[in-house]
Amino acid sequence: MAIRLKFRHAAALGIIAALSIGMVGCSNSGDTSATNSTTTSSGGATNSGKKIVMGFSQIGSESGWRTANTESIKSAAEQAGIDLKFDDAQQKQENQIKAIRNFITQGVDVIAFSPVVETGWKPVLEEAKKANIPVIVSDRRPDVPDDLYVTFIGSDFVEEGKRVGEWLAKDMNGKATIAEITGTPGSAPANDRSKGFEEAIKAYPGMKVVFSQTGDFTRAKGKEVAEALLKSDVGKSINALFCHNDDMALGAIQAIEEAGKKPGKDIVIVSIDGVHDALQALVDGKENFVVECNPLLGPVIMDTAKKVLNHETVPKRTVMKDGEFDQTTAAKALPDRKY
Ligand code: GYE
């Protein structure tokens, strides 16, 4: 009963936190209370003088965004004095589950992971809970009851899709024949970005998505899908392209150029992430609009891990702030873009 009340309390506060942008304080579910060590909040060490050990299961290295995210996690761990056990799952859920099980066997202090797809995580997260190891969810949301993780840190993907859709509808005066190159099937950003985009354009009957296919968030696959599309009759009719990430847009830009068309002019191109090369494409007039997805989650994750192990309260949901770039603002931002 007590546990249930605690859970409901945390869940209610979690909803409040989710409605606020940025970091909002609320109780964690209490599931972390049984960790076998406490920490000082300043250093990355436990009371017994041992370093905090974090197991991090990363999805892979599919995109520029992911490279920046990995780099942020590794450097933040080092700065925080946290001993990071990092595993790259090569885009495979089974590898992530294996890595998490290894972390549990090794008895790490805290597990963090970015789930490649939304479903299929319940059993392994129940194992972590049983072992009293707190779990921090990073970047993508898993579809599990929220007592199976302490906190979820990442962007609002529905909102990102909406912002892209709204910009495109305005830019094209409510009339466009659109192709969509989607992210990894079953992943939260692919599901949510499609959803947000659809929501935004449904107010405009002249905005039609006539093609939708996955490019798996990679440049190579984005190019491949665009090449096939451009050869088809549907491809000949499109005048707008929405890619779920920058890498696929960059691949598609190459394919469009090779097909003798002008990206950014014959076909208006919008995408999400805000990596250096996409900002460059905006400056070069080959892309038109990019909504940012902030990959620099490392410092928030490390700070949160220390707080959790120190029994401090953390928000159930932290929404990262995302900017946006058009061809003009990209020119200003490009010189300082680190990734
Ligand atoms: O947009 C994409 C990456 O989950 C937000 O994954 C992340 C997405 C990002 O491969 O480039």
User: Which of 245, 247, 339 has the most ligand 1 atoms within 8 A of CB, as the residue to mutate?
Assistant: 245
For residue 246, which atom of ligand 1 is closest to its CA? 11
SS3 letters across the chain: CHHHHHHHHHHHHHHHHHHCCECCCCCCCCCCCCCCCCECCCCCEECCCCECEEEEEECCCCCHHHHHHHHHHHHHHHHHCCEEEEEECCCCHHHHHHHHHHHHHHCCCEEEECCCCCCCCHHHHHHHHHCCCCEEEECCCCCCCHHHCCEEEECCHHHHHHHHHHHHHHHCCCCEEEEEEECCCCCHHHHHHHHHHHHHHCCCCCEEEEEEEECCCCHHHHHHHHHHHHHCHHHHHCCEEEECCHHHHHHHHHHHHHCCCCECCCEEEEEEECCHHHHHHHHCCCCCEEEECCCCCHHHHHHHHHHHHCCCCCCCEEECCCCEEEHHHHHHHHHHCCC
* 139 CB near ligand 1 (under 6 Å): yes
Quote the ligand 1 centre to 328 CA distance (angstroms): 24
- CA–CA separation, 278 vs 247, rounded Å? 8
- 86 neighbors 73 (Cβ within 8 angstroms): yes
The CA R_g of the chain, rounded to the nearest whole Å, is: 21
Taking each helix axis from N to C end, the angle separating 122-130 and 93-106, rounded to the nearest 10 degrees, works out to 10
Question: Could you report the per-residue pLDDT of 212-267, keeping only the tens digit for each?
Answer: 999 999 999 999 999 999 999 999 999 999 999 999 999 999 999 999 999 999 99
What is the per-residue pLDDT for 46? Answer: 61
* 73 CB near ligand 1 (under 6 Å): no
What is the per-residue pLDDT for 34? Answer: 30
Question: Could you report the per-residue pLDDT of 270-313, keeping only the tens digit for each?
Answer: 999 999 999 999 999 999 999 999 999 999 999 999 999 999 99
Other Cβ atoms closer than 10 A to 250: 26
What is the per-residue pLDDT for 45? Answer: 66
Quote the ligand 1 centre to 66 CA distance (angstroms): 6
Residues 34-59, mean pLDDT to the nearest whole number:
67
Which residues lie across from 112 on neighbouring strands?
Answer: 56, 136
Return the closest-CA partner of residue 297 out of 2, 77, 21. Answer: 77
Other Cβ atoms closer than 10 A to 166: 18
41 pLDDT more than 60: no
Return the closest-CA partner of residue 180 out of 98, 271, 90, 292. Answer: 271
* 189 CB near ligand 1 (under 6 Å): yes
pLDDT band at residue 80, thresholds of 50, 70 and 90? Answer: very high
User: Which of 153, 273, 292 has the most ligand 1 atoms within 8 A of CB, as the residue to mutate?
Assistant: 273
Instruction: Tell me which architecture the domain covering 2-154+296-320 has in CATH.
Output: 3-Layer(aba) Sandwich (3.40)
User: From atom 8 of ligand 1, which residue's Cα is the shortest distance away?
Assistant: 189
* 66 CB near ligand 1 (under 6 Å): yes
- List the chain domain ranges: 2-154+296-320, 157-293
Tokens (6 digits) for 215:
């490019």
- 179 neighbors 229 (Cβ within 8 angstroms): yes
Matching fold, domains 2-154+296-320 and 157-293: yes
For residue 295, which atom of ligand 1 is closest to its CA? 5
Tokens 């305005």 -> residue: 170
* 192 CB near ligand 1 (under 6 Å): no
pLDDT band at residue 49, thresholds of 50, 70 and 90? Answer: low
Other Cβ atoms closer than 10 A to 73: 26
Which residues lie across from 178 on neighbouring strands?
Answer: 209, 240
Please give the single-letter amino acid code of residue 217: F
Top-level class of domain 157-293:
alpha beta
Question: Could you report the per-residue pLDDT of 111-155, keeping only the tens digit for each?
Answer: 999 999 999 999 999 999 999 999 999 999 999 999 999 999 999
Is residue 198 packed enough to be buried (19+ CB in 10 Å), middle (13-18) or exposed (0-12)? middle
- CA–CA separation, 213 vs 197, rounded Å? 15
- 58 neighbors 87 (Cβ within 8 angstroms): yes
* 193 CB near ligand 1 (under 6 Å): no
Quote the ligand 1 centre to 64 CA distance (angstroms): 9
Tokens (6 digits) for 295:
């990959």
User: Which of 59, 61, 63, 250 has the most ligand 1 atoms within 8 A of CB, as the residue to mutate?
Assistant: 63
Return the closest-CA partner of residue 66 out of 79, 80, 56. Answer: 56
Quote the ligand 1 centre to 245 CA distance (angstroms): 7
Strand order in the sheet with 207-214: 207-214, 176-182, 240-243, 268-273, 289-292, 324-326
Quote the ligand 1 centre to 42 CA distance (angstroms): 31
202 pLDDT more than 90: yes
* 245 CB near ligand 1 (under 6 Å): yes
